Structure 1
Amino acid sequence: MARVRYGARTEAEIAAARTASSRLPEVWSTGVVAVWESDPDAVAAVLPPPLKPTGRPLVRVNISKVDLPGYPLGAGSVAVAAEHGGVGGWYPLVMPMTHERALIGGREVFGEPKKLGEVEVERDGLVVRAALARHGIAFVEVRGAVSGALPLPEPSRRTDFYFKFLPAVDGSGFDADPVLVHCVRDEKVRKLEGVTGDVVLRESMYDPVADLPVRAVVEITIGEKTTVQRGHVAERVSAQALLPYIHQRYDDPAQILDGPPEGSG
């Protein structure tokens, strides 16, 4: 019988696939990163327990084109500063990806809030524009001009926080206790430039980052970096405490009932 590709793989095939994935070459991305100070109450409101706000209400957007061999990828994230167990890091609210392959792995393994979306990174001389869009709305856009080269930072480590869970089959709660994941990223930068510009947030009922207003831009940069990540389960968390926040992960039609804050506009 001819091989049926949906059939079970042998132990040798599984081991070969695991070995191949562990030998991937360094993958470099070109991206724009913007950090701004926002409203402290708004930042605190989006953090599910046991995450806590840090001493500064920062929001960070990363918009990148990733140089995957034969498989170019647009990837982005919007995250707020958070702390857990004495570890400072970032809690991503949405992570648009341009391909399903990148989306599925991150969601299923780490619990990343990835969604299919559009990612743009453009540079024309000194002029830079980067944006994340879904449902036809560029809900965050960074615009500016390159102001000059910056010193290359030393290799650094960053922690992102994710909640990994599966909604219950009967639609009530979860199938098992959710877990809080610490995803540790080791980053190397080979090019970095400063950008003078601004961050534009647009209203979107599915990606309401406009609720995290730009009070003051801290920095905008454009650069090239490579990242290696690994994760571990930090703790199991209260299902009841997490339930009010799981809409962050999905495009729920009921979100049309969640109007923008009064006075926004």
Structure 2
Amino acid sequence: MARVRYGARTDAEIAAARSASSRLPDIWSTGVVAVWETDPDAVAAVLPPPLKPTGRPLARVNISKVDLPGYRLGAGSFAVAAAHDGVEGWYPLVMPMTHERALIGGREVFGEPKKLGEVTVERDGLVVRAALARHGIAFVEVRGAVSGDLPLPEPVRKTDFYFKFLPSVDGPGFDTAPVLVHCLRNEKVRRLERITGDVVLRESMYDPVADLPVRRLVEITIGEKTTDQKGKVVEQVSAQALLPYIHQRYDDPQQLLDGPPQGSV
């Protein structure tokens, strides 16, 4: 019988796939990062327990293009500063990606709130524009001009917080107890420039980041960087406490808004 490719793989095939993935070279991205101070009450409102606000109400958007083998990926993240058990980091609310391949590992393994979307990073001389869009709405746009080089930072470890869960098969709730994940990223930067510009947040019912307004712009940069990441489950969390926040992960958990556009045949 010819080999059935959906059949079970052998131990040798599984080991070979793992070995190949461990030899991947550094993958560099070009990205725009904007950080600002926002409404502290809004930051507190979007953090599911046991996450807590930090001493400074920061929001951050990261908009990047990544040259993956065989294709270019657009990747974005909109996050707020958060803390857990003495560790400070970022809690992403939405992470638009331009390819399904980028969603799978992040959502299924780490619990990242990734969604298919449009990601734009454009540079024409000194002029830079970067944007995140979904459902036809560019809900975040960063605009400006490069105003100078910045010193390269030392390699650094950063922490993102995710909640890993699966909605219940037979009704409201979860299949198993949700867990809080600390995702540790080691970041190296080989180019960094300052941008003088602004951040525009547009109203979207699906991505309501406009509720985290720009009160004071901290910085906008464009740079080239590479990161790796490892995750660890740090604790189980209360399903009852997390349930009010699952709409952050899904546009519409009950699918009431997922029908075809009006007027379609």
CA separation in 1, counterparts of 2:256 and 2:125? 40
SS of 1:101 mapped into structure 2 = helix
Q: Is the 8 A contact 1:35 1:58 kept in 2?
A: yes
TM-score, normalised relative to structure 2: 0.95
Aligned to 1:102: 102
CA separation in 1, counterparts of 2:240 and 2:7? 39
CA separation in 2, counterparts of 1:171 and 1:77? 30
Tell whether 2:240 aligns with 1:233: no
Change (3 A) 1:199 1:254: farther
Aligned to 1:148: 148
Aligned to 2:18: 18
Q: Is the 8 A contact 2:160 2:184 kept in 1?
A: yes
CA separation in 1, counterparts of 2:222 and 2:3? 48
Correspondences of 1:116-127 after superposition (within 5 Å): 116-127=116-127
Q: Is the 8 A contact 1:179 1:234 kept in 2?
A: yes
Aligned to 1:181: 181
Aligned to 1:134: 134
SS of 2:102 mapped into structure 1 = helix
Letter in 1 for 2:62: N
CA separation in 2, counterparts of 1:209 and 1:234? 28
Letter in 2 for 1:70: G
Letter in 2 for 1:125: G
Q: Is the 8 A contact 2:39 2:57 kept in 1?
A: yes
Correspondences of 1:74-89 after superposition (within 5 Å): 74-89=74-89
Letter in 2 for 1:128: V
Aligned to 1:165: 165
CA separation in 2, counterparts of 1:120 and 1:111? 24
Q: How many residues align?
A: 257
TM-score, normalised relative to structure 1: 0.95
Letter in 1 for 2:193: E
Aligned-pair CA distance for 1:136: 0.4
Correspondences of 1:30-109 after superposition (within 5 Å): 30-109=30-109
CA separation in 1, counterparts of 2:253 and 2:203? 16
Aligned-pair CA distance for 1:256: 9.0
Q: Is the 8 A contact 1:205 1:256 kept in 2?
A: no
Q: Is the 8 A contact 1:66 1:74 kept in 2?
A: yes
CA separation in 1, counterparts of 2:77 and 2:254? 23
Aligned-pair CA distance for 1:217: 0.6
Aligned-pair CA distance for 1:103: 0.5
Identity %: 87
Aligned to 2:28: 28
Letter in 1 for 2:242: L
CA separation in 1, counterparts of 2:84 and 2:17? 34
Letter in 2 for 1:67: D
Q: Is the 8 A contact 2:174 2:239 kept in 1?
A: yes
SS of 2:227 mapped into structure 1 = strand
CA offset digits 1:72-111 (Å, max 9, x no partner): 1000000000000000000000000000001111000000
SS of 1:67 mapped into structure 2 = strand
Letter in 1 for 2:168: A
CA separation in 1, counterparts of 2:172 and 2:187? 39
CA separation in 2, counterparts of 1:37 and 1:256? 34
Aligned-pair CA distance for 1:70: 1.2
Aligned-pair CA distance for 1:71: 2.0
Tell whether 2:245 aligns with 1:245: yes
Aligned to 1:203: 203
List structure 1 runs of 4+ shifted beyond 3 angstroms.
253-257
Tell whether 2:191 aligns with 1:191: yes
Structure 2 gaps of 5+ residues are 258-265
CA separation in 1, counterparts of 2:119 and 2:209? 16
CA separation in 2, counterparts of 1:103 and 1:220? 26
